[in-house]
A and B are shown apart, each in its own frame.
Chain A
Amino acid sequence: MVKEIERAGIPIVHVTNLTKISEGIGAHRILRGNSVLHVFGNPSLPKKQEEGFRKELVEEALEMLTEAPKDGQHALIHE
Chain B
Amino acid sequence: MMCRTDQQPEPHGAGEETSGAAFAALLEDSAEELYESAPCGYLSTLMDGTIAKINTTLLDWLGLEREAVVGRMRFTDLLTVGGKLYHETHFAPLLRMQGEISGIALEIKQADGGRIPVLVSSVVKRGGTGEPLLIRTTVFDARDRRAYEEELLRGRKVAEDARKQAEADRARLQDALAVLQHSLLPDSLPQVPGVETAAYYHTASPDRLGGDFYDVFPIDGKRFAFFLGDVCGKGPQAAALTSLTRYTLRAAALHDPDPVAALTTLNTVLHERYADGGDPRYCTAVFGTLEPDPVTGQVTVRLASGGHPPVLVLRADGTADFLRTPGGLLVGVLPEALFTPAGTALAPGDTLLLYTDGLTEARTGKDRTSLYGDDGLLAFATRHAGESPRAVVQALTGLLDSFGDGLDDDTALLAFGVPADLAT
Partners in one complex: no
- B-side residues, CB < 8 A to A, are none
